[in-house]
Structure 1
């Protein structure tokens, strides 16, 4: 009899823990697993195309600007009037101060010049000598005037006497003419009486002699009248000659007086030199004080015109002059107001010179050997806003300016060598 072996107990193949518990325990230290796949070709293509379009846009619409940075200074458009000492002397009076408003013709400074010799102050001695010469001229003029008046009085008296005598002669001549006419009529009446033997020959001859005497007397009176008229004319001529000679002498004395006056003015100017304001404006740049010695040609002060606006004068080198034009915008930065804090300011070019400025007029030790042109720029405004208030700019402020020399598209700038090679820059 076959015995059937007992069957083994059934096996339990299930997990010891639930899947949810196991999943919660997995990746607690390193995190869950990531599924990373490669970027698609479309994304790369879109990125490259976008980058290429951006670069192409920059090349087409982008611009390259070449600038030149130059220095300059502010000054009045009408120019600052600088007063210099005409000669060496001592500044005795300075009635103005910095920033004072003056009018044209006002005395701004008085400079005295002194020269000494072994006899004392040479200028004072010359002044005394000139005054003595002037007094001598006045004395001589007075003496000659008295002499002229005396001679003229004599000539006038003689003229009056001659005229009176001429009138007497003229009256006597008229009487003689009347007497002659009467005697001639009587003679004519005696002629028929003589023929009738009523009047003797002796009486007729006596009457004829009387007529002849009257005619002779008239002739003598006419001769005397002619001589008297000639003498009167000679007196008048002498009087005119005397006046003409006195006028010539007076002109010579006046010339000497003017020469002496000019010499006195020259000496006075050399001794006391006055500096006057040439225009209405403001005093600035005072360099001296009263009592100091001033050398001839030294600057004493300056006057900024009142009605003249400020402008910037830029020292532009010759290499940057090719593309400048009037009306071009310039950016200005004043040294007194740093642009990092107060920004830059605008201006427009108003005048471009045709010739450069000699190096001797620029002054200083210039290491840059390029020729320099002085370009004038009109300011957009003559104030700077700082800390909430508008501060005025002043003549003499130094500045730095950025001038746009050339602006070109980037693609032209990149291909400049090719354009230069083909001659089509």
Structure 2
């Protein structure tokens, strides 16, 4: 019994502490939380939307395109009178070219020249004949119209006289009726006078018909004259253009004089490909003239995979590679036209697109720019033709649940 209290105290000590009972989360709280999360997901899927877009490369060009200037025939450049970026006016001299052909015409050139001279002679004779025919037709119809006017004047006088005559007969008829009542005029005399009135009225109607007929003939003659004049003048103009072309061919054929290349429009000279001393031909342009005051548009090229979803009036976000969008932002535009056929290789060259890419089937998409400039450091910097761009075309906007159910829509054929 010596250590009984101590032993009992040691046995009653507990090192692990008291027992704690943890209650689980109530099932109602879990259900309510899950329901709220589910409803949130449903509402988000219904009200939230996503816009599908296609990113397309492209370039900036004038709305009506650029003007390429070609050499009329194989030549050598002996003088270049402009430079890259120069402003040129319509008719300004750009190039002087030299044919560098032999001073003695070969047999083939002689035959060609003879044929051209024969053509020129025949066309000149034809021009004289057409001019004489036109003058004869105009004089003939002019005489017809003048005769018609004279006849019309005489007819007007006859109508005036006939009206006066009928007026007198009607007055006489009135007097006869009064005298008939008094017994001074017989029934026969009254009827005879009435017949005379009717006869003269018929004559007046005949004059009116002649007047209408003359007016119609005059209008027909004028119309025919105008038609013939327009037709002959058109033929004469076409013949004069052909004669002018034949003359130019004669000049080019019979001499090796210089060719002078002039600016076809006013604008900016660029892409100068031919320098002094180089040989050129009609297959490649000498330079390009960008029209002045012509609004710029964006030309994008889309693959056959993406072009089917692009529509007119789709919104576009444009990034100019010359102006990093991280610093200068993006700009907006609108789709105005989508080509129905794939680009040709020539179009690919205009777009600076490699022929290998063009062979894949690319379609040109025209974009109207909302702004013709870029805001750079507080000032407006004008866009320049030829700038390379990337653009996001916003194709369609749907709610999230519609995108999720898109495979099902594809099967059922409903959207």
Normalising by the residue count of structure 1, what TM-score does the alignment of the two structures yield?
Answer: 0.53
Aligned counterpart, 1:73: 59
Deviations 1:375-403 (A, max 9, x none): 11111112112233322211111111111
Paired residue for 2:372?
A: 382
Preserved contact between residue 92 and residue 112 of structure 1 (Cα < 8 Å)? yes
Q: Which runs of 5+ in 2 are unaligned?
A: 1-19, 118-242
- Over 3 Å counting, the alpha-carbon distance change for 1:407 and 1:104 in structure 2 is same
Q: What SS does the aligned partner of 1:290 have?
A: coil
Summarize the Cα distance change of 1:38–1:404 in structure 2 as closer, same or farther, 3 Å threshold: farther
2:390 paired residue number: 400
**Structure 1 SS opposite 2:52:** strand
**Separation in 2, partners of 1:268, 1:389:** 58
- CA 413–263 in structure 1, closer or farther in 2 if over 3 Å, else same: closer
1:270 CA displacement: 5.4
What SS does the corresponding residue of 1:366 show, helix, strand or coil? helix
Correspondence 1:409 to 2:399: yes
Partner of 1:109: 95
2:294 pairs with 1:308: yes
Residues 319-334 of structure 1 correspond to what in structure 2 (within 5 A)? Answer: 319-334=305-320
- Is contact 2:317–2:392 with CA below 8 Å preserved after alignment? yes
Contact kept? 1:86, 1:297, Cα under 8 Å: no
Q: How far 1:313 sits from its partner (Å)?
A: 1.0
CA RMSD in angstroms comes to 3.5
Please tell me whether the aligned partners of residues 59 and 410 of structure 1 are also in contact (alpha carbons under 8 angstroms): yes
Q: 1:335 maps to what in 2?
A: 321
Q: Which has the larger radius of gyration?
A: 1
Trace 1:246-257 onto structure 2 (pairs within 5 A).
none
Q: Secondary structure at 2:85's aligned position in 1? A: coil
Any idea what SS the aligned residue of 1:312 has? strand
How has the CA–CA distance of structure 1 residues 304 and 365 changed in structure 2, closer, same or farther, with 3 Å as cutoff?
Answer: closer
Q: How far apart are the structure 2 equivalents of 1:259 and 1:103?
A: 25
Kindly indicate whether residue 361 of structure 2 is the aligned counterpart of residue 371 of structure 1: yes
Task: After TM superposition, give the deviation of residue 39 of structure 1 in Å.
Answer: 7.6
Q: 1:36 to 1:291 in 2, by over 3 A?
A: farther
Q: Identify the residue that residue 274 of structure 2 maps to in structure 1.
A: 288
Cα separation, 2, equivalents of 1:77 and 1:320: 23
Q: Is the 8 A contact 1:87 1:270 kept in 2?
A: no
Indicate the residue corresponding to 1:277 in structure 2: 263
Q: Give the paired residue count.
A: 259
Q: Deviations over 1:62-103 (max 9, x none)?
A: 123222111111110121101122222221222212222222
> Do 2:348 and 2:358's aligned partners in 1 also have CA atoms closer than 8 Å?
no
**Aligned-partner Cα distance in 2 for 1:36–1:418:** 52
Contact 1:87 1:297 in 2 (8 A): no
Q: Which residue of 2 aligns with 1:355?
A: 341
The superposition leaves residues 157-196 of structure 1 with CA deviations (integer Å, 9 ceiling, x where unpaired) of: xxxxxxxxxxxxxxxxxxxxxxxxxxxxxxxxxxxxxxxx
Matches within 5 A, 1:118-137: 121-122=103-104
2:46 alignment partner, SS class: helix
Instruction: Give the whole-Å Cα distance in 2 for the aligned partners of 1:258 and 1:84.
Output: 20
Q: What do residues 309-334 of structure 1 show as CA deviations (whole Å, max 9, x unaligned)?
A: 00011112233233433222111112
Separation in 2, partners of 1:378, 1:276: 31
How far does the alpha carbon of each residue in 1:170-227 deviate from its partner, in whole angstroms, 9 at most, with x for none?
A: xxxxxxxxxxxxxxxxxxxxxxxxxxxxxxxxxxxxxxxxxxxxxxxxxxxxxxxxxx
Unaligned runs of 5+ in 1: 1-34, 135-256
Note closer, same or farther for the CA distance 1:40–1:388 as it changes in structure 2 (3 Å cut): same
1:36, 1:300 → 2: CA distance? Answer: 94
Partner of 1:99: 85
